[in-house]
Amino acid sequence: MSEKDYSLTELNKPKDWTALTEMAKKHMPIIEAPTSVKANEPFQVKIKIGGIDGVEHPNMLGHWINWVILYADLRPIGQIYFYPTMTNGYVATLHVTLEKSATLIAQGYCNLHGVWEGKAFKVSVK
């Protein structure tokens, strides 16, 4: 694990999604949601932290993903806390409603490796 793999003081965000480090693969929040929804109708947003190419993040006392937060156009709309050892795979599901098209962004926090931001996910509202 090199020090360049992560930062505790800055947002961790991959520069090249085609060449993710092992560190990024286990910390990155990934959003799954419909790309097109109806205004003000709830839809499901699933966020999975890590597990890219099967590289799961540890879940143990002393090292775990503490929380994930979801933003719509930089407005925080939900935050889920995880506690160590008793969750499986760091999956959070939120029901979201949008009035207009928005870009969803998820950030996850590991107590040892800082805040990680995944790919922006555009949802268009019809």
Residues near Fe ion, by CB under 5 A: 110, 112-113
Please tell me the distance from the alpha carbon of residue 39 to that of residue 19, in angstroms, as a whole number: 36
Residue nearest to Fe ion (CB): 110
Q: Which is nearer to Fe ion, 70 or 110 (CB)?
A: 110
Token pair in block for residue 7 = 């930062």
Q: Which is nearer to Fe ion, 109 or 121 (CB)?
A: 109
Given a contact cutoff of 8 angstroms between Cβ atoms, the answer to whether 12 and 114 are in contact is yes
Nearest to 98 by CA among 67, 75, 69: 75
Please tell me the distance from the alpha carbon of residue 115 to that of residue 105, in angstroms, as a whole number: 13
Q: Which is nearer to Fe ion, 48 or 113 (CB)?
A: 113
